[in-house]
Chain A
Amino acid sequence: KAGVTQTPRYLIKTRGQQVTLSCSPISGHRSVSWYQQTPGQGLQFLFEYFSETQRNKGNFPGRFSGRQFSNSRSEMNVSTLELGDSALYLCASSVGTSLSYEQYFGPGTRLTVT
């Protein structure tokens, strides 16, 4: 069974631009969650989608948004990029709607904002 895939793996953007990251969950998984990982703040929860609906959201500004498609694939968008948005963005998929289910993480997208 293929694991969680994320594209692109690396990305360099300029401050003020926007970026879209993609995540393909494990087949059969309907929940996708997104996390930001930085050396200073550690792992922080962004949001979770289940069956195309956002069911949980972390404490991030509105510049961070996401969506989920009918095939469970998910995208995350960050608008008006700031230097502080440089991070590893991880997505994870799980069978169930609650984060109490085991999550399978992708390798992440490394975003650098210059």
Chain B
Amino acid sequence: LAKTTQPISMDSYEGQEVNITCSHNNIATNDYITWYQQFPSQGPRFIIQGYKTKVTNEVASLFIPADRKSSTLSLPRVSLSDTAVYYCLVEGGYQKVTFGTGTKLQVIP
């Protein structure tokens, strides 16, 4: 079972770029890596998903190195509304679905 760990918390000033890393110690070659954002009292919301190298969408980028033992979510120019908990999700087949431990991001004015 893939074990996924993340920093517990991070602080950032508004307008800065934030990078959150997820470490997965046992990820198969065909595992997707997905990142979700969760606000209090709400279900998680999809941010971005990748398989290898780099993926970018309108809100974030996802970097996956060649060894795939980690992935990094990059949020450009964060705002106060980005204050939330961020989770990575690794999925690789039967009984191998694991969420990361979650990173609480606090954006400071």
Question: What is the interface of chain A, defined by CB distance below 8 A to chain B?
Answer: 4, 35, 42-45, 48, 56-59, 90, 92, 98-100, 102-108
Contact = CB atoms under 8 A, between A and B. Distances in A.
Nearest to A94: B46
Contacts of B36: 103, 105
Nearest to A46: B97
A107 B42 contact: yes
Interface of B: 1, 32, 34, 36, 41-46, 49, 87, 89, 91, 93-95, 97-102
Given A56-B95, A99-B32, A100-B91, 11 more contacts: A42-B99, A42-B100, A42-B101, A44-B99, A45-B98, A56-B94, A90-B44, A99-B34, A100-B32, A103-B46, A107-B42
Contacts of A103: 34, 36, 44, 46
Contact of B97 (A42, A56, A105, A107): A56
A57 B32 CA distance: 17
B95 A43 contact: no
Nearest to A59: B95
Contacts of A44: 99
Contact of A43 (B42, B49, B93, B102): B102
B43 A4 contact: yes
Contact of B91 (A90, A99, A104, A107): A99
Contacts of A59: 1, 95
Contacts of B42: 105, 107
A56 to B, nearest CB: 6
B49 to A, nearest CB: 7
B97 A99 contact: yes
B99 A102 contact: no
B99 A100 contact: no
B84 to A, nearest CB: 13
A56 B91 CA distance: 10
A45 B99 contact: yes
A100 B49 contact: yes
Closest 4 CB pairs of A and B: A105-B43, A43-B99, A100-B32, A45-B97
